[in-house]
Amino acid sequence: MADVYRGTIRLTPDVYAQLEAAGRTGKPLAAIVRDALVEYLARQLWQPQLPQLPPMADDTPTLVAAMTAMAAKLETLEGHVQRLATQMAALTATTAPQPPRRPTAARRQRRQSQPPRLPEQLLQPALRDVPPFDATKFVLGKLCPGRHEYGTSGQTLLRLPSRNCPACVNAFKRAKRAGG
C-alpha cells in the first residue's frame, strides 16, 4: 500500500463514544471513518448543486426596467465626471506650483558625492583665476573670522562636510600647542 495517507481527526467525547460502539461489531475505527468519508465525498463533491433560475419570460419586464434605471444612473455619473474634470482643469490652471519635494536619501547621497558646479556665466572673472582645489573635499564660502582668502576669490576655502576653514583649524592647533 504505497498510496496510503494518514490523517488525524479531533472528535468530541460523544462522537468518539458512538464510533467506539460501532467499532465493537468487529470493524476498526479507522475503517469506519474511512468508509464514512468515501461515502460523503461520493455523495457531496461530485454532484454539483446548480442554482434554480426563474423562467426568463417572467422576468423580462423587470430586467428591462432595471437596465433602464442603470442607464439613467450611468448618464448621471458621466455628467458628474465631466463636471469634475472641468473643475480639476480650472483648479490646476489657477493653483500655484507645489513646493519642491524633500530630497530622498538616494538623491541626498548623489548630491553629496558630486562636486558642486556653478554655471560658467555665473562665475566672476576673479573666480576663474582661483587655484584649483578638490571639489569633493573643499568648497568656497564666505570669508572666515580669520579672513583667510583663497587666491583672489574674496572667499575662504572650506573643508567638507564640516565647512571649517583649514587655515583657522591649523592656527587653533598651533596656538593650543604653544599655550598649552
Four-residue CA torsion sign, 69, 74, 77, 83: negative
Q: Is residue 70 part of a domain?
A: no
The mean pLDDT of the chain is 78
Q: What is the pLDDT of residues 45-100, one digit of tens each?
A: 555 566 666 666 566 777 788 888 888 888 888 888 888 888 777 776 666 666 67
Length of the chain: 180
> Which residues have C-beta within 8 Å of that of residue 157, sequence separation ≥ 6?
133, 138, 139, 140, 148, 150, 165, 166
Q: Is residue 172 part of a domain?
A: yes
Domain residues for 27? 13-44
Q: Is residue 28 part of a domain?
A: yes
Q: Is residue 73 part of a domain?
A: no
Strands (E), 36-162: 138-141, 156-159
Most confident of 8-12, 44-48, 115-119, 120-124: 8-12
Q: How confident is the model at residue 121 (pLDDT cuts 50, 70, 90)?
A: very low
Q: Is residue 156 part of a domain?
A: yes
Q: How confident is the model at residue 168 (pLDDT cuts 50, 70, 90)?
A: very high
**Would the pTM of this model clear 0.85, i.e. be above it?**
no
Whether residue 137 has pLDDT greater than 50: yes
Q: Is residue 20 part of a domain?
A: yes
The pLDDT value given to residue 158: 92
Q: Looking at the 3D structure of the chain, how many domains does it have?
A: 2
Q: Is residue 161 part of a domain?
A: yes
Instruction: Give ∠ CA 171-129-136 in degrees, rounded to 5.
Output: 60
Q: Is residue 95 part of a domain?
A: no
Whether residue 148 has pLDDT greater than 60: yes
